[in-house]
């Protein structure tokens, strides 16, 4: 019974992580279209850097892939650091980066929780009980 509940919780957590990664990609896409920058090529380049990794991770996160979850846990702090720097340096985009801060922190915490206890373990071998 406990294994079944843990399995259901891990599936829900995997889905939440997937939605958070998709939310980050959607945030960067929206930011790109709403940008009024005088240097649109720079905005497009940095938006694609934000969009592509998240979109590549969404299917793996949805399926509960441990590798995709690990990669999401590795890249989420970079999004968080970007958001904190923009919060400090650029008052014009504080609304966008506040959402980025929340999504990246939630994705990092969700990935770590999933990897720590919610993810099903891969079998390493068989043991025989005597």
- pLDDT, tens digit, for every residue of 76-114? 999 999 999 988 998 888 888 999 999 999 999 999 999
Q: How many residues does the chain have?
A: 130
- Using alpha carbons only, give the angle 80, 118, 121 rounded to the nearest 5 degrees: 115
Contact criterion met (CB below 8 Å) for 112 and 73: yes
Q: Please give the pLDDT value at position 108.
A: 96
CA-to-CA distance for 109 and 80, rounded, in angstroms? 12
Q: Per-residue confidence at 17, pLDDT binned at 50, 70, 90?
A: very high
22-50, pLDDT tens digit by residue? 999 999 888 887 777 667 777 777 778 88
Q: Please give the pLDDT value at position 21.
A: 96
| Residue 42 exposed, middle or buried by CB count within 10 Å (0-12, 13-18, 19+) | exposed
Contact criterion met (CB below 8 Å) for 64 and 8: no
CA-to-CA distance for 115 and 126, rounded, in angstroms? 22
113-127, pLDDT tens digit by residue? 999 876 556 556 655
Taking residues 51-77, report their average pLDDT. Answer: 94
pTM tops 0.85, yes or no: no
CA-to-CA distance for 22 and 58, rounded, in angstroms? 6
């Amino acid at each position: 019974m406990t294994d079944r509940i843990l399995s259901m919780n891990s599936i829900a957590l995997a889905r939440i992580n997937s939605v958070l990664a998709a939310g980050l990609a959607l945030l960067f896409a929206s930011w790109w279209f709403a940008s009024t920058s005088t240097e649109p090529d720079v905005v497009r380049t940095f938006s694609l850097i934000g969009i592509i990794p998240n979109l590549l991770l969404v299917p793996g996160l949805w399926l509960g892939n441990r590798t995709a979850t690990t990669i999401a846990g590795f890249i989420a702090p970079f999004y968080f650091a970007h958001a904190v720097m923009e919060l400090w340096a650029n008052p014009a985009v504080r609304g966008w980066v506040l959402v980025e801060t929340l999504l990246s922190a939630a994705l990092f915490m969700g990935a770590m929780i999933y990897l720590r206890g919610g993810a099903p373990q891969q079998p390493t071998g068989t043991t025989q009980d005597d």
